[in-house]
Amino acid sequence: MAVDVHRVGVVVGGLEQPSTVAASLAGSLATPRSVRAQGFRPLAYLAWAAVFLAIIVFNEHAIEQLRAGDAGIVGDENGPLENAQLVVMVPTFLLFGLAWVRGLGAVRVAGYALGMIGALAFAREIDFKSLTGGGHAGFDWLVAHGLQDGLLALLGLALVLYLFVQRRYFWSVLRLGLRWQAWPCVASFILLAAAELYFDGLSGPNAHFWEELVETNGYFLLAVAAWRHASLIGDPELDRPV
């Protein structure tokens, strides 16, 4: 989801925060709002630049490994790309969870929904079989009898039930998703769908590498979307109870 850059806010730790939340995070609200926005905006731009520069560097390094003939190692199951996906999903889940806990309206509902989608992705990416054989017979039995599938089913059911209970926020959540500032979330879903529906069906020595790289970038953008969505907590227009 997205931050309205024209909405008055402050930046805390590189994030643009609504003034209602910033009171507890950034101190006094006595400073004129225009001064705060102008004073902190360069920091926000620097933070965004740093994030996207890190993504570019990561991709460049991965492609260099491909050129060096190490694509198989990088894109292997439980390889560097899959590990990067798991790592980036942790802050993604936490930021969406923060929006669910601290939000009041559509931001809260969307935070839960997107957080659960992140949890589903995390559970799907974990190779539970690689965790067996450590002397925990009960865990090994669960893995052998569909622990991952059961976990995915429970998370999916929790998501569907929650959205049904909060269905009065449907249009408000849709409004959040249709704003142009929500592009990282939309782009993330497009990349993840492409990785699953197109790249997963490719054949060739580097096919799995490209699938994992596209998927990794999808998770990177989902983390960006979580960052932007968390900054909507307390927004007087977009985060109102219905």
Q: What is the mean pLDDT of residues 228-233?
A: 94
In terms of average pLDDT, the best of 18-22, 70-74, 158-162 is 158-162
For residue 55, what pLDDT is reported? 93
Distance, in Å, from the CA atom of 174 to the CA atom of 59, rounded to the nearest integer, reads 32
Indicate the helix (H) or strand (E) that contains 201. none
* Burial class, 208, CB count within 10 angstroms (exposed 0-12 / middle 13-18 / buried 19+): buried
**Average of pLDDT values for 42-46?**
79
Kindly report, residue by residue over 142-186, the tens digit of the pLDDT.
888 888 899 999 999 999 999 999 999 999 999 999 999 999 999
33-67 helix and 207-230 helix, angle to the nearest 10 degrees: 170
Reading the block at residue 214, the tokens are 């596209």
Alpha-carbon torsion (210, 216, 222, 228), positive or negative:
negative
Residue 94 has pLDDT above 50, yes or no: yes
| pLDDT computed for residue 132 by the predictor | 79
The CA distance from 45 to 66, in Å, is 32
The mean per-residue pLDDT over the stretch 57-64 comes to 92
Cα–Cα separations (whole angstroms), residue 223 to 15, 171, 232: 13, 24, 15
pLDDT at 20 over 60: no
Q: How far apart are alpha carbons 205 and 125 in whole angstroms?
A: 22
| 46 contact partners, CB below 8 Å, separation of at least 6 | 14
pLDDT at res. 37: 40
Percent pLDDT > 90 in the chain is 49
DSSP-derived 3-state class of residue 158: helix
Assess contact for 120 and 155: CB atoms under 8 A. yes
Q: What is d(CA 91, CA 224) in angstroms, rounded to the nearest whole number?
A: 10
Compare 137 and 18 and report the one with higher pLDDT.
137
Top pLDDT among 47 and 228 is at: 228
For the residues 56-71, what does the mean pLDDT come to? 88
DSSP state of 130: G
Going from N- to C-terminal start, the domains of the chain cover: 70-230
Question: What's the pLDDT at 26?
Answer: 32
**Tens-place pLDDT, residues 180-223:** 999 999 999 999 999 989 988 888 888 889 999 999 999 999 99
Query: In sequence order, which residues have a C-beta less than 8 Å from that of residue 227 and are 6 or more positions away?
Result: 15, 51, 95
